Amino acid sequence: MLEWRQKHAFFGILLYIFTTVFVINLMMMKPEDKIWNALFWIIQLFVCVNAVAKSFMQENRGRLLYYYSVVHPRHFILAKLIYNLILMLLMSVISLICCMMFLGNPITNPLYFIGVVMLGGVSLSLVFTMLAAIAAQASQNAALMAIMGFPLIMPVLMLLSSISRSAFEPVLQPGLPGMFMLLGGLDVLVIALALILFPYLWKD
């Protein structure tokens, strides 16, 4: 995909991450483990809303029509999913580095936490890509994204924050493999639904 054109959007999100983390740093210098975890996932959520949601809004009608005539809708949504996934992974790494720099580093198990962050980035980007595709069809799509997206993404965030707790302190969590399976299952489900349903969304 030719989305590198929108460089300003990319650097805009970078700046967004930076300022958010800096504001948190000014307000509370070094937060505790639990608060650090919560803040990190909230930053991730809003970065995702900003980065991924724009992927359909910034296309104008003419270009969408062009894509429609050139590629099959299933290939189009697949390309969008992959692009947003890579973008979100990159953003996750950047926001993780920012958080570590400004808010201190309470993580005791870094490799595990990076893995969780990657998984979280994947899940967030997949769900929001599909939602952005739906919201792009409606008229006032910015507000709709929040209304539709937050209840849908909340279970994912709940799972993520409880999984990532193991990275901060050695706690015993019995259902850990099950939670990973559930997150992976949700991702597969979203991809499958997107591939099946997107051609219907693109009919006009």
Site residues (CB under 8 A) for other proteins?
Answer: 130, 134, 137-140, 144, 147-148, 151-152, 154-155, 158, 175, 178-179, 182, 185-186, 189, 193, 197, 200-201, 203-204
Nearer to other proteins, 28 or 158 (CB): 158
Nearer to other proteins, 28 or 138 (CB): 138
Nearer to other proteins, 13 or 149 (CB): 149
Write down the least CB distance from residue 148 to other proteins, Å. Answer: 5
Element (H, E) at 203: none
Q: Any idea which residue has 């209840």 for tokens?
A: 151
Write down the least CB distance from residue 142 to other proteins, Å. Answer: 11
Could you tell me which of 133, 36, 156 has the C-alpha nearest to residue 78?
A: 133
Nearer to other proteins, 1 or 138 (CB): 138
Nearer to other proteins, 101 or 158 (CB): 158
Write down the least CB distance from residue 196 to other proteins, Å. Answer: 9
Could you tell me which of 116, 126, 92 has the C-alpha nearest to residue 179?
A: 116
Write down the least CB distance from residue 139 to other proteins, Å. Answer: 6
Distances (CA, A) of 154 to 9, 79, 112, 150, 194: 26, 26, 22, 6, 19
Write down the least CB distance from residue 150 to other proteins, Å. Answer: 8
Dihedral in degrees, nearest 10, Cα atoms 134, 151, 51, 64: 0
Could you tell me which of 76, 50, 70 has the C-alpha nearest to residue 194?
A: 76
